[in-house]
Structures are given as C-alpha cells and as structure tokens.
Structure 1
Amino acid sequence: MCGGNDHEHCSVPGLLLRNPWDEEPAPGQELPQAAAEAPRPKAVRSAVWKRRKLWELKRHLHCPVIGTCLDIDTWRRLARARSLAVEQMSDYEVHVHFVGACAQRNASSLAAQKALDRAHEGLLRRFARARSREQLEALWAQALSAGEVPGGFWALVSHPRCDATLVDRAYEDVHMLSHQVGAGQRADLKKHQEARIEIQRLRDDVDDLQRRNRQAIDHRDRRITALEAELAAVIKQHRAAQARESDARERLERLGGQGHQERMTAIAERARTAERRASRLRHEVGRWQEACERADARARAWEQECEDQRAQREALERQLAPGAAQCSGCTASSESGCPNLCGRRILCVGGRSHVIEYYRELVARCNGEFEHHDGGIEDNPQRLNALLSSADAVICTTDCVSHDAYNRSKKFCKRSAKPCVLLRSSGVSTFARALEQVALQHAGQVASAQVSLLPSR
C-alpha cells in the first residue's frame, strides 16, 4: 500500500449542524431574519452528524480505500469518463492517479466519492445506524468475518463516530489482509500453473485418444466397405442360385411331373433312414473305441504289473540262489546275483508279521543289518524316530502300516535325504526288489563320490 508513515487521524468533528428553529430566542432578542422568514418544517431532527468525505480522510487511508473498496475496472471507467488515456496507463498508474486526486476536493475525488457510495450503499445504511464506537467495532468484525471488507472499510472510515484507534485497527486489518491475499494469489498462481500443465497433459491425452479413435473409425470404415462388397457378392451368388433352382424346378416339372416328385420323396426318405443308421453305427463305433481304449489301458497296467512281478521274482531268485549265500563284507561281487548292501542298516516300517523273518534273512544275505517297526500297530510310535535316525535306508509297505508312521517316514527321509522305497504290497519278492533298488542307489552315490575325488587335469 502507498501512503506515508503518518498514522494520525482527524478527530471526530464536534460541530453540530442545528436548525434555527431548534433554539428559542433570548429575552429581548428576535429570531434571525432567515429563521423568521423560513417556514418551520413539520419534523426537524435535533442534530445531524455528517459522514466524512474522501478528501477529508488522512492521506495514508487513500491508498487502502482506492485499492480495496473498488476494483481496478471501476477506476478505469471513472478515469475514462475524465478523458484520461487509460489505455496507455497501467493499473498502478490508475491507482496512483486517484490516490493523489483524493487529497483534495476536485472532479476526480467527487466522482470517486459517488462511486464508493453507490457501490456500498447497503453497508453504508447498516453502519449509519451505529450510535457508538462499540457498535461500529462489532459491525467491522462482522464485515471481516463475512468477507465484506471493501464496503465495511469504506463505511467505517467515513463514519463520523469512528475514532482514530478504530481507524488504525481497521487499517492494520486491511494491511494484513492484503498480505494474505497476496500469499493466496501466489498459491493460486502455483495451482494455476499446475492446472495448466495438467490441462496440457489432458489435451495431449485427448489428442492421442482422438487419433486412435480416427484410426479405429478408418479401420471400421474399411472393414464395413469390405463386408459390404462381400455381402454384395453373396447376394449376387444367392440370386444366381435362386435362378438355377427355379430353372431346375421348371425342368423337373417338365420331365417327371408327379411321378418324379414321388421318386424324389422316396429317395429322400431312404437317405434319412441311411443317415439314422449311420448315426447309430457311429455311436456304436464310438462305444467300441472307448472299450478298446479301456482294454488297452488295462493291458498296459497288466503288462506293467507282470513286469514288476517278473522283476521281483528275479530279484528274489537271485537272492535265494545257492551261490548267493554267505556274502562277506563289501567284497561280494555282483556276479553272484545278490545285491551288496555293504553293511548298511535297513529299516522296514510296516509289513505282515509272518514275512518279517524272510525280510531279515534277505537283508542278511545282502550283507546288511535289518531293523523293523510294525508301523504303530504294537510298537511304540516314539520308537520310530530313533529307528529312523539310525537307519541308512527305509523301506515302507503301504498295505500294512498306519497313516502316521507312513507320513513320518516319508517326511523324515525327505528331510534327511535318506533313501526311501515305498512298497505296494508286503510280498517277499517285492521286498527283494526294493533291496536291489537300495543297493543301486548306494552304488550310484559311491561312484559319484569317487568321481568327485579324482584329481582335475
């Protein structure tokens, strides 16, 4: 805001304008000539307070009044009415012109006074009803909270009962409000810049969307054109087919008449009968194909089972052969047909009780140690953990074992990376085949260890 540092305000004028009729003449005096000649009105107020004019305010108030109480467009219109070249003047120059002109009574200050009174007529009437400083202070606070600062400030500083302290307070409020408005404008400018960037981005997105839409529309138009051409060709072919059908009907009517039609009906009936028979045959062929597939699946299962039985029988024969007995240590050769367990401890989980001794004998023939746990039927389930820890390989029969022992054996072997063979039955031949698998796994591990120990060239 412009204006000097002078914060002095003019005091409230104490002069009361009185009507000559309000005073009675003193004894021996006569009324003034003007009072004697003037007619007495019906109702005359005892005293009238005059509002301050714009040029009667302190100079430092002109800047906030001009800058706050009316917008710059109104000041430009007033300047244009005074024949000023406002097109070549900036907003600041227009503001400075009226601030300087309001220092005294002249055409510009009178025009400004009328514009201010006309713009804030409602608030002026509201403030005119105030009869004390407290009422003025309350009205100013109400105008601040309601956002009626322009009209409230003009009505306050021009009110005859407004003292210097209240004027200073209003000046400070407007001064700080201008700072807040400036900060708000800066924030609004920042938001405006961000909004411009967002609008540009949205415009780019819209342009891209319009471009894609145009491409899609062009593709659709080309597709519609192609389909219309294809439809025209199909319609042409259909019309040609209808023409041929009509010609054929005419020829048939000329050649065969009613008898030909009956023959055609009989042929069509025979064709339908043949089609129904073919459908039944196709259905029957499908059933036979499904039966053949099921038979092939059963044959493959039987072949696999026979192969397993043969392997188990051969394993049992090799282990029960006369030359396979009394294997000593790890020196037994594979030529004898007996797998060499090399003293490994084999744990059998589950199995039928009458074959356990055969299991033990087979393990002993294969140079191994045999341990057995019945799978939780009679043996303590807690004993299974100790046997699993001491075993080198585990063989579990799935047809005669509890679920708990089965699951614990699988999990333990998987966690400790020990060989685990699951048997579908408790037969002796099946167990013999499992011993061969354990021996083969051990031989593979030994070979891998030997290869890793070979010196690198």
Structure 2
Amino acid sequence: MCHSQQTQLPAHDADVQLAAAQVPQAAACLSTGSRRRRLWELPERAHCPVVGVCLPMPILRRVAEKTFQGRNIDTDYGLHSGAVSECRKRTVLADGMQRELEKRYAMQLRQAARLKQVEALSDWWAQCATTDLAGALWATLTHPRCTPKLEAQILAEVHMLQHQVGTTQPTDNQRLHQLAQDKTQLAAALAQAQARTQQVSRDRHERLQAQQRQIAQLKAELTARDSTVKQLRETVQTLSATTNSVCQRNQANEVALQAQRINALERSLQNTEHECQRRGRVIDAQAAALRGHATAENPARQPVASATKEAIRLENRAVLCVGGRTASVPHYRHIVESTGGRFLHHDGGEEESLTKLDSTLVAADLVICQTGCISHNAYWRVKDYCKRTGKQCVYVETSGTTGLKRALTSLSNQ
C-alpha cells in the first residue's frame, strides 16, 4: 500500500494496529443518517487503496491532467502519491476523483443503496469482492451503514490482496508473455489460413467464371442447333408437301400393279388346283378299277377294302386346317365336308391373330398343319398343343388338295 511523499510506508502490523486505533475516531465521524461519505471524508488509511484500486492509472492521469490544465506528471508513482495527498481535504483534484468514482461505479452504488443493515452490507461485500473488487470497495466504504469494524476488515483484506497481487505478478507476467507468444503464433497461423482461404476463394472464382463461360458457349451452340433444327423441319415440311402427291400416285400405281400380279397368280393357282383335282379324280377312278379287279381275283381281301373306305368317313368330326393358300380354302372345305366332317380354318398368323389359334385348336378334333404356309410361331403353338393334349395332328409340307387328302387318309388310319 502506497502513501504520500510526506508519510513513511509502515509495516503491516503497525498498519493494522493503526487501523484498530483509529476505529473510535472513525466511529465518531460515521454518519448515522442516509448520506454517503465523500472521498475526503474517508480516513487517511483508506485513500491509498481507494485511489490505487478504484481508479486505474490512465483514468487517474486523465482526471489529473484535466484538473491541472494539461500539466503532465512524469511517473505513475508521483501521480498516485499526489492524488492520495489531495484526498485529505476537499480540493479540486479530490472533487474530480469523487465525480469520476460516482460515475464509474454508479451501478454498484445503486445495488448497495438497497442494503439497510450492516450484516447485509458485509455479505454483499464478501459476495462482490471476488468478481468486482473496485466497485465493491467504493460502494461499501462510502455506504452509510459501513461501521468502523467493517471498514477495518475491508481495508485489511484489500491490503493482503495487494500483497498477493505483488507475489503473483511475476507468474502473471510470465503467463502474459506466454500468451503473447501464443497470440503471435496463432496470428501467424491465422494469416496462413486466411492466405489459403483467399487462394481457395480465387481458385473457386476462376472455376466459376470458366463454368459460366462454358455455359454461355453451350447456350449459344444450343441456340444455333435449335435454329438449324427449325430450318430443317421447315425444309422437310416443304419437301413433304411437294412430294406427297407424287408418293401417293406412285403408291397407287404400285398397289394396282401388285393387285394385278396377285390376281394373275390366283388364277394360275386355281387352274393348277383344278388340274390337280381332275388328275386326282382320274387317279381315284383308276385306283377303284384296280381295286375292283383285285377283289374279283381275291374275294378274301374285299372286307379290308370296304373297311378302309368306311374309315375315311369323319362322322361330323371337326377338322382344323392350319395354313394353306387363301384361294384353296373353299376346296379344303369341300373335301372335308364331303367326308362327313366339319371344316375349321386358321391362316397360321398371316392375317388372323395367334390368340385365336388357341381357341380354334380347342374346338378341333383333328389337326392338319401345312408347315410351308404358316409362321414359325404358329407351327410351334400347334405342335406344343397337340403334344400336350394328345390330339391327332398331321404335318403337310406342301399345300394343295392332294396333300389334304393324304393327310385325311393318314388321320383315319391312326
């Protein structure tokens, strides 16, 4: 604890004894009303800790320079000692320090003003001194209910705190130095991180600009492509409108030509079929004549021939013919119905749906499959169905009435 230049710096025990001896004198001066004590009304032993703790050196220097109209005091010690001496009575500097203390610790003064008992004030001091020593010291010492005993206790605690601060100051300075070094290292690391961040930001900005340029180029190419497509579509429409009538005429001519060819082939086919039927009848007549001669020569074989002739009768059984030429279908129907059967037909997928083939196979009793005139899919459908159901089926490689008759004979012999 520091004093003015005129006062010797006492030892700790002498200071405590002096504080105890001045308690009655301070008690006589203690106001029993509600008015707070001013700085010059505090005992002299309180001036040093109040000025040293409650007024930081920059604040104290500013107040002093304002009071003494800019006159500078060289050392902090000289400024502190002079300020402590000015507190013994009401002076211009003491008034300036009083105003500064009132302004600086207005909140703590308002808090302490609500305390009406000495015990409450003592408890408040103990609670606030650990976190706000300066504010608690000024508000408690100037409080109307601060007794000499509480005052001596506070000054003793502040005195010991000052010693502890002096003891721990080297450690704090060392810690402060270490913190300063850490700050320098962290500042360097931060500068490096900021430099990297700025570089990353510049790289990202460059990539973004490159992507934007690429997007603009792609948009331009897309616009040009759309324009080209539009021109091509207009050209196609123009060409289509120009050549549509020509194509229609060419298609009509081609259709007519194909129709003529089909008619010529159908007429040729019909002539061929008629010739085949005529030859079949001739062959049948010759075969009947030969069977007649054979019967006359060997009567024992007559029942077999008769049985074969009867076996050809279909007795109202449904015969499905899959495939064959469209022009030959009436001839197929005549042959089947002349033997007593019901005629069914499916073109094997040429024009009729293959799904209809399944239902037609179900309705048939006998199946004749002309393999040369049906689709591959229809052939396998017929073969699979007849194999699964066990239905009689004869496969004929060539179409025509002769093949159909041979197939009927084969079915009757199975």
TM-score normalized by the length of structure 2: 0.44
Q: Point out the structure with the larger helix share.
A: 2
Q: For the pair shown, which has the larger CA radius of gyration, 1 or 2?
A: 2
Given the two structures, how large is their TM-score scaled by the length of structure 1? 0.40
Higher relative contact order (CA 8 A, sep 6+): 2
